[in-house]
Amino acid sequence: MAMDAERIPVIVGVGQFNDRPENPDDGLDSVGLMEQALRLADQDAGGGWLKDLDAIATVDQISWPHLTEIPQKLAAAFGANPKHLETTDMASGDSPILLLNEAANRIGSGEHKIAAVVGGEALRSAAHFAKKAAAEGKTFGGLGSSVAEMAANAAPSYRKRYGLLGPVDVYPLYENAGRAAYGQTLDEGQDESAQIWSLFAEVAKYNEGAWIRKGATPEEVKTVTPNNRPISHPYSKLMVANSSVNQGAGYIVTSLAEARRRGVPEDKLIYVGLGAAGHEPDEPLERDRYDQSPSMALSINKALELNKLNSSDLDYVELYSCFPCVPKMARRVLDWPLDKPATVHGGLTFGGGPIGNYMAHAVVCMVEKLRESGSKGLLFANGGYATHNHSLVLSKEPMDHAQFPQEFLFQDEADAARGAIPPVNENYEGPAEIETFTVLYGRDGSPRWGVVYARTPDGARTLAKIPAEDEAGIAFLTDGKAEPVGSQGKVVAVANGDHIWQR
């Protein structure tokens, strides 16, 4: 049965914008970046779309928190009167794919004809203006604290006591648990990270939309230097997301019928496939394990199943890359080769890490790649602390099975795939086994302390520190001579209320 072209969602225009003015005072705010990105998307689609938008959906931004009603501001700038205006509840890495899936659903239901999805972060400008205002004794209305400080303020007290404040402190727990589960030595795990990241840097080198375009060899990625200082073991600066950017990206989604009425060439149309989402518990301590993510696997596998694809059918993928553990887990789900790039944009280190909007840049680049060559691409998005997962397929050819609207949240299946979540014992003392770990570093590259996630004999989870002055303990976690995960020790309470790990 032929599908109704009025209900088939296609992407007709994409745009991304990097703002790097010679004079930092000329830097745009987040709304300015979004406007520029959608104007570029409009040009890409042949022009004349923005004034007719039925919907504008924006990814929440953090760099200019005093800016409100951003979709309304964009509508006014375009002379549009959309009936649907939306901003996501938070700046999460899955947001651009979630909003794309929702836009496809509304077009598939006939609710909308033309929708725009866009996001932007001006953290570079916000930092400049905050510093300038402070020097003048004034208050800046934008982001006055670092992303790390914001995470610290939001962290629950138990994790905060041990320094596990933001994603940069939590994702290494997945890295170290995963490496042990894969049977890798520390060097082998670092080599895998360096290989993936070097390919990201190579993609970014030839992508005009990327933020850092110098390339990087595996050796440069994994070698600790003053310019590549350790952040949290085993990650160095070149392995983590780069949020100090001014970047905006967005896209215009419409029906196949509307695209044809407006004369968009068939070879510019990219069809939206079906999506699948699943989530982990919000609190990282309340996960069943750290060597894999059941909701990630569910999201990726279900997206392939819904779109009647195998991983070998994919020409391109974007595997979210805030930290190496995420694409490492994802590529194992997909069986994606190590020597094949897992990005079309360049990853969050080199392509740029505009908080929740990175995947909008990935959508832009995936559309451009599919227009040039290939047939199918998978977009895998991750947000929070390995919390939120959303995968979606884009295709150069129509997909008769991709009928919208669709139900894309498969949380019951994700929950069913998850093992029992161990209870947390904040006051435990006694023998325990290391489940995973990390070491947190200062800006001078010296260790601040180590953090151990340990399992008690009755299966509970508890935290313990290894003080920086315990040089042998820090070395045990970091030198790669032995595998810390699975090793035995004990948790000992100390006078300040903390608990420390002793071998």
CATH numbers and ranges of domains, the chain:
5-125+243-303+351-375+391-417 (3.40.47.10), 430-502 (2.40.50.840)
Longest CA–CA separation in the chain, Å: 74
pLDDT at 31 over 90: yes
What confidence score (pLDDT) does residue 277 get? 98
Q: What percent of the chain has pLDDT over 70?
A: 97
pLDDT reported for residue 221: 98
**What 3 state SS string does 30-48 have?**
HHHHHHHHHHHHHHHCCCC
147 pLDDT exceeds 60?
no
> What digits encode the pLDDT tens for the residues 76-95?
999 999 999 999 999 999 99
Contacts of 428 by beta carbon, 8 Å cutoff, 6+ apart: 456, 460, 462, 491, 499
CA–CA distance, 275 with 29 (Å, rounded to integer):
31
Q: Is the pLDDT of residue 144 over 60?
A: no
435 φ/ψ angles, rounded to the nearest 5 degrees: -90, -45
Average pLDDT over the chain, rounded to whole?
95
Residues 155-168: what's their mean pLDDT? 90
Confidence of residue 154 (pLDDT cuts 50, 70, 90): low
- Give me the mean pLDDT over the 176-205 stretch: 98
Using the structure block, give the residue that is written with the tokens 């789900």: 333
Residue 412 has pLDDT above 70, yes or no: yes
> What is the rounded average pLDDT of the residues 454-477?
98
From the list 342, 100, 361, the residue with the least C-alpha distance to 208 is 361
DSSP bridge pairs for 388: 279, 383
Residue 149 has pLDDT above 90, yes or no: no
For residue 139, pLDDT beyond 90: no
**pLDDT recorded at residue 148:** 53
Retrieve residue 97's tokens.
């794919």
Provide mean pLDDT across the span 243-268: 98
Q: Of 164-168, 363-367, 408-412, give the lowest mean pLDDT range.
A: 164-168
pLDDT band at 152 (very low <50, low <70, confident <90, very high): low
Mean pLDDT of all residues in 433-462: 98
